[in-house]
Amino acid sequence: MVRVSGKSKKSRLDSPQFVGSLLLLAADCRQQARVYRVHLASAAMKRNRCVINKLLQGNAKFVAGEFKPNEKYYRTIAARQSPKVLWIGCSDSRVSEDVITGSRPGTMFVHRNVANIVAFNDVNISSILEYGIVHLKIEDIVVCGHTRCGGIAAIEDGVHENYIADWLCIASGAKVITDEIAQKHKLSREQKLEVLAAENVKLQIKHLQSLALIKNMHEKGSLPRIHGWLYRVETGAIDVLVNGRTGKVTKGFKSLESMRS
Ligand SMILES: [Zn+2]
């Protein structure tokens, strides 16, 4: 109701017809939103089905194009795996160790986690190391980090999600070193993240070397050799940061820059 000159006058906006049409419009909008949500969900399901189908089609191609022509090799590894390398890498979907190193199944024993971290008191990685070294007699371990790593960016920027924050805290030593390098060379954010990814690889190698299992083996001889690599997602190339054969370590930002060119 609208009051005009002390008298109440019925507005067109208050009319039952107008209110009724508004209610109808709102109901129509709700219905359209429901239809749109169903449409989105159905499109997402179709997309997901499509990806899963592609994986299965990919497997059929692998069986026909790789497995069958090399059946003798695959029969050998079916009887017993004997990988020569233990790969410790990031879970990132773009860093698939078999693909980027052109390796067949059976070449590498693999452990991957966020930011390729070697944690103390981590039963997961400890059991992988024990099985790999003691039972599979692996002689080379590769710790491979990569550029454009979300975990590395989160170490730099800080993260508040509970488990991710706790996990990345294990790599905080790499950030301390990187902060010093970045300040000295006035690095851009992209350059700093690259240095941080490299320093993280070196730190995780130190963690590996500190584990009793590895330390005891190194005291008896030189195995397992530990290599530190950085995979560049922009070019597909791998840079050697730590040469496990010679022990040579790439130091500082300038050495890293020279690898890029
Ligand atoms: Zn990563």
What is the number of domains present in the chain?
2
Q: How far is the CA of 146 from the centre of ligand 1 (A)?
A: 6
Looking at residue 95, its pLDDT comes to 98
Q: Quick one: 32 and 93 in the same domain? A: no
Long-range contacts at 110-114 (CB < 8 A, ≥ 24 apart): 110/86, 111/86, 111/87, 112/87, 112/88, 113/167, 114/90, 114/150, 114/151, 114/164, 114/167, 114/168
Q: How far is the CA of 58 from the centre of ligand 1 (A)?
A: 25
Q: Quick one: 171 and 132 in the same domain? A: yes
H/E stretch holding 231 reads: strand 225-231
Q: How far is the CA of 210 from the centre of ligand 1 (A)?
A: 23
Q: Quick one: 247 and 175 in the same domain? A: yes
Q: Quick one: 100 and 199 in the same domain? A: yes
Looking at residue 12, its pLDDT comes to 67
Q: Quick one: 109 and 141 in the same domain? A: yes
* Domain-ending residue, one of 80, 109, 140: 80
pLDDT tens figures, 198-218: 999 999 999 999 999 999 999
Q: What residue numbers bound the domain in which 188 lies? A: 81-260
pLDDT of 102 above 50: yes
Q: How far is the CA of 188 from the centre of ligand 1 (A)?
A: 20
Q: Quick one: 70 and 35 in the same domain? A: yes
DSSP state of 161: S
Q: Quick one: 109 and 142 in the same domain? A: yes
Q: Quick one: 249 and 153 in the same domain? A: yes
Q: How far is the CA of 9 from the centre of ligand 1 (A)?
A: 69
pLDDT tens figures, 40-59: 777 777 777 899 999 999 99
Q: Mean pLDDT across the chain, nearest whole number?
A: 91
Q: How far is the CA of 176 from the centre of ligand 1 (A)?
A: 19
Q: Quick one: 148 and 89 in the same domain? A: yes
Q: Quick one: 72 and 90 in the same domain? A: no
Q: Quick one: 59 and 91 in the same domain? A: no
Residue 246: CATH number of its domain: 3.40.1050.10
**CA atoms of 18 and 24, how far apart (whole Å):** 10
Looking at residue 1, its pLDDT comes to 44
Q: How far is the CA of 260 from the centre of ligand 1 (A)?
A: 19
pLDDT band at 2 (very low <50, low <70, confident <90, very high): very low
pLDDT over 70 percentage in the chain: 95
Q: Quick one: 230 and 217 in the same domain? A: yes
